[in-house]
A and B are shown apart, each in its own frame.
Chain A
């Protein structure tokens, strides 16, 4: 009995000691874990819509560089403009348990499926360009940039004495890219028609992907967002316009505009044309500086979206609720202001000031580290 009671005491003592040891070990492990966690960098995964083409590559590089500068751990995926690949990447990303996902999905219809994957994994996400239900959204506003561009182009045309009676707007859409992307050309035409006498007025919703002519003052061609296709499409369209007709040329991106402009110069009609680009590519900025007919260039500063997205990600991780749409920096450049924002090699040297809705980005302190946003100092 005594041996038995001794054993019991021994057992109790040992169990107590074991319990204390386990508690202490657990506490120490938790402390170590907390320390380790505190030392862990923020982990961000980014799926790019495509890793081909100037815009997408520069955009991806910009995000990666900004994440590196902030000391965030960064992983990059390529959605290849393909829904299945996008879904596969989404599953891969959540397996990796990042703190936040930046998703640039080019296929609007799969937004719900992506949301389910991210929500099930409990990972917050920011949708770039194409919205995903339930996620935060960062994008350019095509409508605004098309309108602003028309507001630069039309006064210039009017100053030359052009009216809707002798002028046609050729807008180059990329029909497969969807309504949002083509808003820039639609609103360009609508705004031009509203501000220029004699142009056929039309509601934005009446210009669709299948619209090809708008009265006698508008032609919409499909350049597929590409140089060669836009060149051919504009070449064909020029056949239908008298040689003395004035032309306003605008498109969804710089490759398209350059293709269309090449068709116009080949036809010897450049003196009768005013052209505006969109994208801020090196080639287009060169035209804006050196070509008197190229009078406006919409820039969305895509190479620098990275710092805004990383600032936005930081805000979200800090518990801030962003507005429904966080606008990217965007501005219509003219020959007068281009040198302020871009250097001679076409590199961004200054970004436009934050719009009021984006003031929450200031509080993260991220943008100040880049010291390149007008009105924000480091």
Chain B
């Protein structure tokens, strides 16, 4: 999955010279492969230091651990590539989890409960998009505000308590498996493929990169920037709510405390995967790699019995080293 760069120039909307775009493309590729190499190093390190790391069972464990944040990060990729970002996911994940369990416990059909939970999330995303585009408030402030509202709603709906699923069949995404692989892992792979395809091979994908590359030029080129931006935020929040559905399926319960670190971890994963915070650069492959790097490090350190305090420190240091390593390779490759 090659990473993509905002090709605004190609649509006469980017206003960038082709050399600059080519340079950034190469830089992104270098970052992607740099992180890839780093990931291989991480895997080798933990395989050598922990007896329990290099096994099918633990690989599956890592995949199941990263699924929730992976789904959030897919939406975050869209937001970041388009030049924004979405902090509200930390509120939408618990909102999705709680609403899904409430709908499920009301004996609604599971697909309908999932759909409604996702629509609740998407509604928050539409609000984000409207606030950013129509009111003109910076995404940082806008999504910070809706984070608080969505998280507060999750607490209000659940009355601050953990709501167990009355019928565990509602947690079908976790309860059913292909072999030993839970449905939700397969869902992550499916969603990743769909979004990768959309970003890489469709007009809407190119427009997202164009808007992230140069918002004003895209508008002048006739793109419906506001509508696309609203759609992006709606998709991002809808995916976050779906991540809430997944986490409540894993836990067989809905809680307003889940997903608290979803915003920071998803943004870190997207950036680690080679996206630029100012937009126009990034992609699904890099994001998934970023998610895997963070998830694998967390898993490896847990297996090595590293205390939680030091895990936090180590994760931060490794994150900086990984990004630095990628940037260094990018500079070296010209």
Indicate whether A228 sits within 8 Å of B159 (C-beta atoms), given known contacts A209-B309, A221-B302: no
B141 within 8 Å of A (CB atoms)? no
A210 touches B52 (CB 8 A): no
A240 touches B65 (CB 8 A): no
B303 touches A282 (CB 8 A): no
**How far is A53 from B306 in the complex, measured between Cα atoms in Å?**
29
Number of residues on chain A facing chain B (CB within 8 A): 36
- Chain B contacts of A262 at CB under 8 A? 250-253
Number of residues on chain B facing chain A (CB within 8 A): 35
Indicate whether A52 sits within 8 Å of B251 (C-beta atoms), given known contacts A57-B159, A233-B302: no
A231 touches B251 (CB 8 A): yes
A234-264 interface (Cβ within 8 A of B)? 235-237, 239-240, 254-255, 258-259, 262
Which of A51, A52, A56, A239: most chain B Cβ within 10 A?
A239
B111 within 8 Å of A (CB atoms)? no
B250 touches A255 (CB 8 A): no
B285-310 interface (Cβ within 8 A of A)? 298-299, 302-303, 305-310
B260: min CB distance to chain A, Å: 8
A281 within 8 Å of B (CB atoms)? yes
Indicate whether A236 sits within 8 Å of B61 (C-beta atoms), given known contacts A54-B160, A266-B174: yes
B324 within 8 Å of A (CB atoms)? no
Indicate whether A283 sits within 8 Å of B253 (C-beta atoms), given known contacts A52-B155, A228-B247, A228-B259: yes
A222 within 8 Å of B (CB atoms)? yes
B213-262 interface (Cβ within 8 A of A)? 247, 250-253, 255-260
- Chain A contacts of B302 at CB under 8 A? 221, 233, 236-237
B161 touches A282 (CB 8 A): yes
- Chain B contacts of A51 at CB under 8 A? 160
Which chain B residue lies CB-closest to A227?
A: B255
B305 touches A54 (CB 8 A): no
**How far is A226 from B256 in the complex, measured between Cα atoms in Å?**
10
- Chain B contacts of A13 at CB under 8 A? none
- Chain B contacts of A281 at CB under 8 A? 161-162
- Chain B contacts of A213 at CB under 8 A? 305
**Residue in A210, A239, A258 whose CB lies within 8 Å of B58:** A239
Which chain A residue lies CB-closest to B51?
A: A240
A232 touches B65 (CB 8 A): yes
Against A, the Cβ 8 Å flags (1 = close, 0 = not) of B147-158 are 000000001000
A240 touches B251 (CB 8 A): no
Against B, the Cβ 8 Å flags (1 = close, 0 = not) of A52-68 are 11101100000000000
**Residue in B259, B260, B298, B305 whose CB lies within 8 Å of A212:** B305
A239 touches B57 (CB 8 A): yes
B164 within 8 Å of A (CB atoms)? yes
**How far is A233 from B309 in the complex, measured between Cα atoms in Å?**
14
A228 touches B306 (CB 8 A): no
A227 touches B160 (CB 8 A): no
A286 within 8 Å of B (CB atoms)? yes
A54 touches B251 (CB 8 A): no
**How far is A226 from B255 in the complex, measured between Cα atoms in Å?**
9
- Chain B contacts of A239 at CB under 8 A? 52, 55, 57-58, 61, 303
Secondary structure at the A interface, as helix, strand, loop or mixed, is helix
Against B, the Cβ 8 Å flags (1 = close, 0 = not) of A195-215 are 000000000000001111100
Which chain B residue lies CB-closest to A241?
A: B52
A227 touches B253 (CB 8 A): yes
Which chain B residue lies CB-closest to A213?
A: B305
B64 within 8 Å of A (CB atoms)? yes
B312: min CB distance to chain A, Å: 10
Indicate whether A212 sits within 8 Å of B307 (C-beta atoms), given known contacts A236-B302, A240-B52, A281-B162: yes
- Chain B contacts of A210 at CB under 8 A? 307, 309-310
Indicate whether A228 sits within 8 Å of B257 (C-beta atoms), given known contacts A175-B309, A236-B302: yes
Which chain A residue lies CB-closest to B247?
A: A228
**Residue in B160, B162, B247 whose CB lies within 8 Å of A57:** B160
B309 touches A231 (CB 8 A): no
Which chain B residue lies CB-closest to A173?
A: B308
**Residue in B257, B306, B308 whose CB lies within 8 Å of A255:** B257
Which chain A residue lies CB-closest to B174?
A: A266
B14: min CB distance to chain A, Å: 41
**Residue in A209, A221, A222, A228 whose CB lies within 8 Å of B251:** A228
Which of A209, A222, A232: most chain B Cβ within 10 A?
A232
A227 touches B309 (CB 8 A): no
Against B, the Cβ 8 Å flags (1 = close, 0 = not) of A82-107 are 00000000000000000000000000
- Chain A contacts of B252 at CB under 8 A? 262
B272: min CB distance to chain A, Å: 19
B255: min CB distance to chain A, Å: 5
- Chain A contacts of B160 at CB under 8 A? 51-54, 56-57
Which chain B residue lies CB-closest to A210?
A: B307
- Chain B contacts of A53 at CB under 8 A? 160-161, 257
B259 touches A235 (CB 8 A): no
A222 touches B308 (CB 8 A): yes
Which chain B residue lies CB-closest to A240?
A: B52
**How far is A36 from B113 in the complex, measured between Cα atoms in Å?**
58
- Chain A contacts of B52 at CB under 8 A? 239-240
6 closest residue pairs by CB, A with B: A222-B308, A236-B302, A212-B305, A210-B307, A54-B161, A57-B160
User: Can you add 20 more A-B contacts, CB < 8 Å, to A226-B255, A226-B258, A239-B52?
Assistant: A54-B159, A54-B162, A56-B160, A209-B307, A210-B309, A211-B307, A227-B251, A227-B253, A228-B257, A228-B258, A232-B65, A235-B65, A239-B57, A240-B52, A240-B303, A254-B162, A258-B162, A258-B251, A262-B250, A281-B162
30 contacts between A and B (CB under 8 A): A52-B256, A54-B162, A57-B160, A175-B307, A175-B308, A209-B307, A210-B307, A210-B309, A211-B307, A212-B305, A212-B307, A222-B307, A226-B255, A226-B258, A227-B162, A228-B255, A231-B250, A231-B251, A232-B65, A235-B65, A236-B298, A236-B299, A239-B61, A255-B257, A258-B164, A258-B251, A262-B250, A262-B251, A281-B161, A283-B164
